[in-house]
Amino acid sequence: MPIDYDFLMGFDIPEVRQSYGAAEVAHYGLTIGMGQDPLNMRALPYVGALADDSCVMPAIVNVLGHPGFWLGNPATGVNALKLVHGEQGMTIHRTLPPEGTVIGKTRITGLIDKGEGRGALLYSEKEIRDAETGDLLATTRGTIFLRGDGGFGGPQGPVKSVHELPETAPDHVFDTPTRPEQALYYRWNADPNALHLDPRVAAKAGFERPILHGLCSFGCAAHALLAVLCDYDAERFGSMDARFTAVVFPGETLRTEIWNDGSFRTRVLERNQIAIGNGLFKLRESA
């Protein structure tokens, strides 16, 4: 059935209460490539390696309080087999404590009809709050391209603007080799989509093998930004937004190219293809 604009805009996505601690924090860091250098003393606190020092990788907010594959609910009217994760962003309002309980509440913030045969854009936002105090810790943003759902009579705008990268060469590069089994680890960050795990499902989707989760690639880019622009200080990490432009296969090397103004993109070295483009990072104002 076609999308009902008013119904979908008001669709209630249940909030998610989640507790986390040292194991979850370390696991997330490891699944985005942190800890690969066992002598990097600035990175080791993010994977629980130092008994006297523990830090939380800011990008973990993308998986905390995750509502699951709610667009797979037939009541949404969305063709779940033809959706693509198009953009992702996040803003850190407060540094996350090493352990705690959070509540994630996701809501739809926009729905753009690109026309019959051209698909639609769904914008969503998730707020992560401390379950005890109610303090807002982080906000994440996502854009989903609904390839099979255009022409339902919804608004044609406004469409989110795209950050244009500088025309000069990047000021820094940061390489993250991914592992062949990385998607099998990352799936435990609340994303068991078989496209990333089962070769049979990947083949039906037109891929030669399972692809890496987009949010895993996004996390790798976040690690690069934390290292290069924040000197591994999570207190300085403010916001990042970017567009997914190509798939990544587990085992490929990701090179994040960074400009001093916060612009960035992530390239797959083996295929010289941009996987994450139009990126923009900002330091936290209070830092």
Where in the sequence numbering do the catalytic residues fall? 191, 196
Tokens, residue 214:
């987009």
Question: What residues pair up with 143 in beta bridges, in sequence order?
Answer: 87, 123
Please tell me the number of Cα atoms within 13 Å of 171 on its side-chain side.
12
Instruction: Quote the CA–CA distance of 37 and 39 in Å, as a whole number.
Output: 5
Q: Identify residue 281 by its one-letter amino acid code.
A: F
Which backbone phi and psi does 247 adopt, to 5 degrees? -80, 160
The DSSP secondary structure of the chain, one letter per residue, reads: ----HHHHHT-----EEEEE-HHHHHHHHHHTTTTSSTT-TTTGGGGT--TT-----GGGGGTTT---SGGGSGGG---GGGEEEEEEEEEESSPPPSSEEEEEEEEEEEEEE--TTT-EEEEEEEEEEETTT--EEEEEEEEEEETT---SS----PPPP-PPPPSSPPSEEEEEEPPTTHHHHHTTTT---GGGT-HHHHHHTT-SSPPPPHHHHHHHHHHHHHHHHHTT-GGGEEEEEEEE-S---TTPEEEEEE-TTSEEEEEETTTTEEEEEEEEEEE-TT-
